[in-house]
Structure 1
Amino acid sequence: MNEPQAARFAALRLIRSANIGPVTFRALIDRYGDAAAAIDALPMLAARGGGRAPVLADEGAVRREIATVRALGGRFLLLGDPDYPALLAELDSAPPALIVRGDLSLLARPCVAMVGARNASAAACRFARGLAEELGAAGYCVVSGLARGIDTAVHQGAIGHATIGVIASGIDVVFPPENAGLQEEVATRGLLIAEQPPGTQPLARHFPSRNRIIAGLALGTVVVEAAPRSGSLITARLAGEAGREVMAVPGSPLDPRAQGCNSLIREGATLVQNAADVAEMLRPIDARAVRAPGGRYVGEPAATDASDGDRTRITGLLGPVPVAVDELVRQSGCPTTVVQTVLLELELAGRLDRHAGGRVSLG
């Protein structure tokens, strides 16, 4: 195994290891420079956090995953690779590894996400299909999640131009089953993306992770039809938190499936009725700052070691109720880099849980 292959193997092994989520992976690479050095440091960091080192992924299992992905016609995109999507890399929770099949050049195009209800109305599906086709014809790559309803209509409308499908399962698993043909068409004519290893079934906890990728790839997200507290609204919220445009198609107040979109508009989302409205919202957006190779912002401060006093003070502020990291910085009086170091140690020791909105709690 040559040096680049060894480095990629170590990165994938680190990603697949216990207690190593996207935020932790990025923090380790920022601190140690590469995955091999990070792996060597895990026992020390976990000991400082009061626990045992995470169980590393079995090397044989990693080799089998690589072989499986290759046999499926896919490939890995690792955070820091030249082809890794730049907008997605901006997220603190950017996936350290993506598994992809299809046309990688689509990742360089301006992308717009379109999401909506699984039990969508016929009128909404027709509208979504037409809007996706118009956006594709206008040069946008349309991103969605290959779910029933609006997602299916979106991919059907955009497939003749450019579309990316992001799934919550392994790249070899189809969900819903009736979209087997559409998923294969997206993989051959567009681009199919999965974060989970091959063979992974689409469990409920995987869908919010899938949604962050959909939102992260795009300059903006359009919600066509969505009930309150739906997954589509999670995608819209993630888009807004990432500084991307949030757009919604209004619907009848008499239809519960329109309540989510109407609420988004009332809360400040842009009302859109056609492709021209979407293009108008996305056109002023400039290219954003891109992470340097390895996933680190240029000029981002390096991690700082914590003293025993720092660890005691920061750990004492944590409990079972999630708290924002910024609040820990304020109350502890420690620099952000020190707080992040302590959180990294606790997570590697299996003592920290991360929650939505950048909040943490003791596990």
Structure 2
Amino acid sequence: MTRAEPADGVKLTDGQRLDWLRLIRSENVGPRTFRVLVNRYGGARAALEALPGLARRGGAQAPGRIYSVEEAEREIETAKRQHAVFLALGEPGYPARLRMIDDAPPLIAARGDIDALKMPIVGIVGSRNASAAGAKFAAQIARELGREGFVISSGLARGIDAAAHRATIESGTVAVLAGGQDRIYPPEHKELLDQILEKGAAISEMPFGWEPRARDFPRRNRLISGLSLGVLVVEAARRSGSLITARMALEQGREVFAVPGSPLDPRCEGTNGLLKQGAALVTEANDIIGVISPILGRTIELPMEEPEHELGDTGDAAPDERRRIISLLGPTPVDIDDLIRLSGARPAVVRTVLLELEIAGKLEWQAGGRVALL
């Protein structure tokens, strides 16, 4: 039986950290796939060696690009120059609550006071085009939570995010970045980030030099909620990205809070909708503290790693099994349990075929742990 390296509370060696960085930066390898690969092959180096064969069996015409040793070494050197460290999943400094989510990043680049990541964290998000009242209220709540010993996480965006960060520079705040640590968005918040780093931290799962794109912001949002005991939404329109954060918080088992607003203000349409759906109503910090205080007394139960295969089961698929499993897939997301039941194949075989398809760039994971063909 193999398991991911490192064991709980054990730091990676320099060589392992290099291999982890190469694997997670390689084409078609996301956080879920990374964990499957490392558990299956017993380490990142062996997984890197297996990638071309997996891509070929998945139907790729050419193997996906593998991040080179030289590229990984350059990124590690860049991190050192930026006073950043790479924290690996399972290491002592990695945020415990973030580790609990299904798609926790294997490595995060962190700067600033890393101890802020060990504190109880509450996420605050909301409209970029915030009203003066909304920004003032977000700052007030953030400041009160800071006085009670909570660190605030947010996305360094304009509006509500910036107000929450500025209010907690002294007590501690965590900026979760959509781009690399050296590509701050929006650019005018670089000075704000410098202030945050004095007593707080900034984290990113993206490579150094990575300019954030539209699809990177939902990825960032899952980290804001993943770090946190709960997420407060202050002003959000019907199609706001803050509602994505709230949905992800629910999927991760986090508390969701919302501030009521005028039904005449479109910036409050999303938050009022969250309240209708059962989010906890917030008009003062105690509304949040009363809900999450009991959670602080509980031991954090980290997910157990399971072997990818049963003992002695290679998971290799016969040609007819592979065809049968692939025939059940399409653009509509499907649960893996349904694939196992309908295909009649062993779970290890189904997971192996899905892994091959993903490495070949033909499969993607969607909400709720479902899969779909691209």
- TM-score surpassing 0.5? yes
**Distance in 2 (alpha carbons) for counterparts of 1:241 and 1:338:** 27
In structure 1, the partner of 2:5 is: none
Long gaps (5+) in structure 2: 1-11
Of the three residues 54, 65, 72, the one matched with 1:62 is 72
Q: Which sits farther off after the overlay, 115-124 or 314-323?
A: 314-323
CA spacing shift, 1:338–1:85, aligned 2, 3 Å: farther
Secondary structure of the corresponding residue to residue 237 of structure 2:
coil
In structure 2, the partner of 1:95 is: 105
Q: Does residue 8 of structure 1 match 2:14? A: no
**Distance in 2 (alpha carbons) for counterparts of 1:283 and 1:334:** 46
Secondary structure of the corresponding residue to residue 156 of structure 1:
helix
CA spacing shift, 1:279–1:333, aligned 2, 3 Å: farther
Q: Determine if contact 1:167/1:194 at 8 Å carries over to the other structure.
A: yes
Q: Does residue 275 of structure 1 match 2:285? A: yes
Matches within 5 A, 1:1-363: 4-51=13-60, 52-285=62-295, 286-291=298-303, 297-298=304-305, 300-303=306-309, 305-308=315-318, 309-363=320-374
Which amino acid letter does the alignment assign opposite residue 49 of structure 2?
D
Secondary structure of the corresponding residue to residue 356 of structure 2:
helix
Secondary structure of the corresponding residue to residue 115 of structure 1:
strand
Which amino acid letter does the alignment assign opposite residue 127 of structure 2?
A
CA displacement at 1:312 relative to structure 2? 2.2
Deviation string, structure 1 residues 32-89 (Cα, Å, up to 9, x no partner): 2210111122233223323343221122111111111110111111222221111111
Q: Determine if contact 1:246/1:270 at 8 Å carries over to the other structure.
A: yes
CA displacement at 1:181 relative to structure 2? 1.0
**Distance in 2 (alpha carbons) for counterparts of 1:263 and 1:331:** 38
Q: Which sits farther off after the overlay, 352-361 or 11-20?
A: 352-361
Q: Determine if contact 2:36/2:308 at 8 Å carries over to the other structure.
A: no
Q: Determine if contact 1:143/1:214 at 8 Å carries over to the other structure.
A: yes
CA spacing shift, 1:39–1:165, aligned 2, 3 Å: same
In the comparison of the two structures, how many residue pairs are matched?
355
Which amino acid letter does the alignment assign opposite residue 242 of structure 1?
Q
**Distance in 1 (alpha carbons) for counterparts of 2:289 and 2:321:** 49
Q: Determine if contact 2:39/2:307 at 8 Å carries over to the other structure.
A: no
Secondary structure of the corresponding residue to residue 323 of structure 1:
coil
Q: Which sits farther off after the overlay, 217-226 or 346-355?
A: 346-355
**Distance in 1 (alpha carbons) for counterparts of 2:149 and 2:347:** 41
**Distance in 2 (alpha carbons) for counterparts of 1:287 and 1:328:** 35
**Distance in 1 (alpha carbons) for counterparts of 2:345 and 2:294:** 38
Q: TM-score, normalized by length of structure 2?
A: 0.91
Secondary structure of the corresponding residue to residue 202 of structure 1:
coil
Q: TM-score, normalized by length of structure 1?
A: 0.93
Task: Indicate the percent of aligned positions where both proteins have the same amino acid.
Answer: 50
CA spacing shift, 1:339–1:162, aligned 2, 3 Å: same
Secondary structure of the corresponding residue to residue 264 of structure 1:
helix
Which amino acid letter does the alignment assign opposite residue 28 of structure 1?
L
Q: Determine if contact 1:101/1:188 at 8 Å carries over to the other structure.
A: no
**Distance in 2 (alpha carbons) for counterparts of 1:103 and 1:334:** 49
CA displacement at 1:287 relative to structure 2? 3.1
RMSD over aligned Cα atoms: 1.6
Secondary structure of the corresponding residue to residue 225 of structure 2:
helix
Which amino acid letter does the alignment assign opposite residue 102 of structure 1?
G
CA displacement at 1:336 relative to structure 2? 4.0
CA spacing shift, 1:173–1:245, aligned 2, 3 Å: same
Which amino acid letter does the alignment assign opposite residue 18 of structure 1?
E
Q: Determine if contact 1:301/1:337 at 8 Å carries over to the other structure.
A: no
Deviation string, structure 1 residues 312-344 (Cα, Å, up to 9, x no partner): 221110123332333323322445443222211
Q: Which sits farther off after the overlay, 39-48 or 6-15?
A: 39-48
Which amino acid letter does the alignment assign opposite residue 206 of structure 1?
D
**Distance in 2 (alpha carbons) for counterparts of 1:307 and 1:320:** 22
Which amino acid letter does the alignment assign opposite residue 34 of structure 1?
G
CA displacement at 1:133 relative to structure 2? 0.6
In structure 2, the partner of 1:294 is: none
**Distance in 2 (alpha carbons) for counterparts of 1:54 and 1:347:** 10
**Distance in 1 (alpha carbons) for counterparts of 2:106 and 2:116:** 19
CA spacing shift, 1:111–1:43, aligned 2, 3 Å: same
